[in-house]
Amino acid sequence: MTIQFKDQTFHDDYTFRNSEWAIRRFPFPFHEDSYMYSVNLEPHLSLRPGSVFEKTFDVDEHYISEMKDRARVLANDPLRCQSLPHMTLAGWDLVELIMEAKAREYPDLFELRRDGDRWHWINKPLEIEQKFVFMDDTTLPCGPMEYITRQTQGDFAILDQREENLWMDAGMVTSQADWSLDFDIGMNFYEWHAPVPLAHELAVFQRALKFLLNLQQGAPVRRLNWTMTVNPLLDTSPENYHKWGVQKTELKPGNVGQKQHLRVELQTLFRLPRSNAIVFPIRCYLIRLEDLVTVPKWGRRLHRVLRDLPGELATYKGFIRNRPMIVDYLSQFDDGAPTSPGIFPD
Amino acid sequence: MSAGTKKIDVTVGEVVEVNDLVKRFRFVRSDGGEMPTFSGGAHTVVEMRDGGVTRLNPYSLMSDPRDRSAYTISVRRDEVGRGGSLFLHRKVKPGDRMVLSYPVNLFALDLRAKKHLMIAGGIGITPFLAQIKQLSAMNGHFELHYSVRTAALASYAEELTARYPSNVHIYHDDRNEVIDLAQLLNGQPLGTHLYVCGPKGMIGWVCRTADAHGWPAQAIHSEEFLAPQSGKPFDVTLARSGKVIRVGEHQSFLEALEAAGVDAPYLCRGGACGQCETGVVSHEGRFVHRDHWLTDDQKACGERIMPCVSRFEGRSLVIDR
């Protein structure tokens, strides 16, 4: 089907809405009625036509709006996009990965013509046409990572691999769940995960790092992560906490269904071929609770998960203050009936 | 699911005798498509079906990483090994169909380096051939010191010196030419990274000398693929499946697991990557640990084994597979 692109905002007047199509394909993250950390990685293979797991890089109705929001955030704070000098090669790897995948999987929207190193890229939704020489930085209007991630939904962290560790040495981060690239740049895997509660005790990160160091070219993996966000804000950054943090206090029993959103990240990991780095795309999907509960299984399950979540996690995910109100709202959609296994609607 | 299971069906394009000991093999995709791009220092695991025996040996990719038309490897004939190199030398002909793994890099360039100082011994030259092609395309700064037995056995030395006369230095054993390592290490600019690939003795010598000269461990990179060694046959009980398998004299422990239908993970099959690490449930006997992965303490306590290169001698061994 042809995607009907929306022109909506993720700030101030918040005109963002999900269509019926977007609600049904929302990546609901809970496969059972409770939640605890795990290294829940699976191969990033095409799954379920129409789902967000079908394509290498999912494009949906929010594409144009999200790219406008990225440009707005970057204009206000250029440090959301950084690449240390040794990461340019990885940026080219990413250009190739995304352009090849989008041109192959969305031929009606994107086109890539290659004549040796002379490439011709056409992005129809954003009305971009660019001829450039692959691996020649001077032939693009900005660095290769910035160029392609201004045209791709989701945040991107590029991780250099050395000394049996991963180092966050480049990234484009404008739609993040309260973490800062400018703070994390140059950190290793343990350093940037240091604020996460409970997981260190469970040795989750040791196992995850060991797995990632052996991540193979041609065999990408994915997982879902989640948090809660008041208002459909893509940019919930520490830099702007003074602007969005206060909005948590605006939640009331009468508006929780409209204002409170479940925020889900589709995280994928790819080994990049030339640089041997790993790219970590973090794609954010938002859904307001009143839309989410239109899928009865999701309404029941989200109620049970949030009600029973350990306090440390509700604090870390930033909704401990409003948890009673959210759980109270969701309880009206939980009749106690059993739920089916897996994340998809019945 | 095994790591390393992403495979490429290839056809042998050409086989070239480089010298008395080394042959070069060129592989193209059987479906006519392009090979995956790779990074200098990467290897591929070559599957060899030699009668009833399947061998999977890692070989460094030596071609230009940007060239997606083919992969090339160079193989040194090992008369006393378990037969993988002899199979390639004697039996593999142009037109043969084979299977390669996707590339894996355990010997990557540190792209932060201001200069790349490379020390090669013998067939250890192969990963550097790809790295040099990658670096020269990026205007990277490198210097190669390459130790060979004789001029006649100096694989690719002529091509390298012709192409990069001021970057490449060749040392011939039969002319008593020796790398003056101490002098070399002392004269390097800040930000230099050191890479060594060659025989075990050479790797140890280079790493120890660099350490003694105060080089930081992060700036020293080495790669040595261990070939599994033959040894006395031994029996192993697999705790999860209840199977009892025998590891043959010329078979690796990992190959015996695979032959028994156990889907054991692997990447390098050379004791370096850690992927095949296996828990030991109980044992009565002595481990022959040969890997670079487990620490000396781990090897001593006998709770883990790397079946790609290590063996066992004794009465009984039960593992968690």
User: DSSP for B5-54?
Assistant: --EEEEEEEEEEE-SSSEEEEEEEETTS-PPPP--TTEEEEEEEEETTEE
- Residue B271: pLDDT band with limits 50, 70, 90: confident
Q: Which helix (H) or strand (E) holds B170?
A: strand B168-172
Mark whether A223 is an active-site residue.
yes
Residues of A in contact with B264 (CB under 8 A): none
Residues of B in contact with A136 (CB under 8 A): none
B140 touches chain A (CB under 8 A): no
- List Cα–Cα distances, A19 to A51, A151, A244, B27, B82, in angstroms: 14, 22, 25, 50, 63
CA of B45 vs chain A CAs: smallest distance (Å): 13
Contact criterion met (CB below 8 Å) for A214 and B275 = yes
Residue A11 has pLDDT above 80, yes or no: yes
* Gap between the Cα atoms of A18 and A213, Å rounded: 37
pLDDT at residue A324, as a whole number: 97
What residue ranges in chain A does DSSP mark as E strands? Answer: 42-43, 81-83, 110-115, 118-123, 128-133, 155-162, 165-172, 221-230, 260-271, 278-288
> 3-state DSSP call for residue A249?
helix
Q: Quick one: tokens of B118?
A: 């490379």
pLDDT at residue B55, as a whole number: 84
Residues of A in contact with B42 (CB under 8 A): 276
Residue B288 has pLDDT above 50, yes or no: yes
Task: Report which of residues A39 and A296 the model is more confident about.
Answer: A296
* Gap between the Cα atoms of B5 and A197, Å rounded: 35
Catalytic: which of A223, A283, A288, A323?
A223
* Gap between the Cα atoms of B142 and B168, Å rounded: 9
Residue ranges of B 79-98 with Cβ closer than 8 A to chain A = none
Residues of A in contact with B3 (CB under 8 A): 214, 216, 219
B295 touches chain A (CB under 8 A): no
Maximum alpha-carbon separation in chain B: 61
Residue type, A157: A
- CB contact set of A299 (below 8 Å; sequence gap of 6+): A292, A293, A330, A333, A334
State the angle between helix axes of A323-331 and A296-308 in degrees (0 to 180), rounded to the nearest 10: 140
Name which of A104, A194, A185 is nearest A145 in CA terms: A185
Q: Give the mean model confidence (pLDDT) for residues B114-136.
A: 96
Task: Report which of residues B301 and A59 the model is more confident about.
Answer: A59
Selected for mutation to probe chain B from A160, A216, A221 (highest B CB count within 10 Å) is A216
- Under DSSP, the state recorded for B206 is H
Locus of tokens 């487990």: B294
- Residue A279: pLDDT band with limits 50, 70, 90: very high
* Gap between the Cα atoms of B54 and B102, Å rounded: 18
Selected for mutation to probe chain A from B8, B39, B135 (highest A CB count within 10 Å) is B39
Dihedrals phi, psi of A34, to nearest 5 degrees? -145, 170
Contact: A273, B274; criterion CB under 8 Å: no
pLDDT at residue A39, as a whole number: 65
* Gap between the Cα atoms of A155 and A172, Å rounded: 6
* Gap between the Cα atoms of B227 and B222, Å rounded: 16
Residue B81 has pLDDT above 80, yes or no: no
Residues on A contacting B at a C-beta cutoff of 8 Å: 43, 85-87, 89, 96, 135, 160-163, 210, 214, 216-219, 273-276
Dihedrals phi, psi of B111, to nearest 5 degrees? -75, -5
Q: pLDDT, tens digit, for every residue of B56-71?
A: 889 999 999 989 999 9
Residues of B in contact with A96 (CB under 8 A): 37
CA of A174 vs chain B CAs: smallest distance (Å): 26
Contact: A216, B102; criterion CB under 8 Å: yes
Selected for mutation to probe chain B from A96, A114, A162 (highest B CB count within 10 Å) is A162
B212 touches chain A (CB under 8 A): no
Closest Cα in chain A to B102:
A217
pLDDT at residue B5, as a whole number: 61
Name which of A249, A237, A310, A318 is nearest A69 in CA terms: A237
pLDDT at residue B229, as a whole number: 79
Residues of A in contact with B38 (CB under 8 A): 217, 273-274
ipTM for the predicted complex: 0.82
State the CB neighbour count (10 A cutoff) for residue A205: 17
Q: Which of A134-138, B11-15, B258-262 has the lowest mean pLDDT?
A: B258-262
Minimal Cβ distance to A217: which of B103, B112, B138: B103
* Gap between the Cα atoms of B261 and B293, Å rounded: 25
- The angle formed by the CA atoms of residues B142, B146 and B152, to the nearest 5 degrees, is 135
Q: Indicate the pTM of the whole model.
A: 0.87
Minimal Cβ distance to A276: which of B39, B138, B274: B39
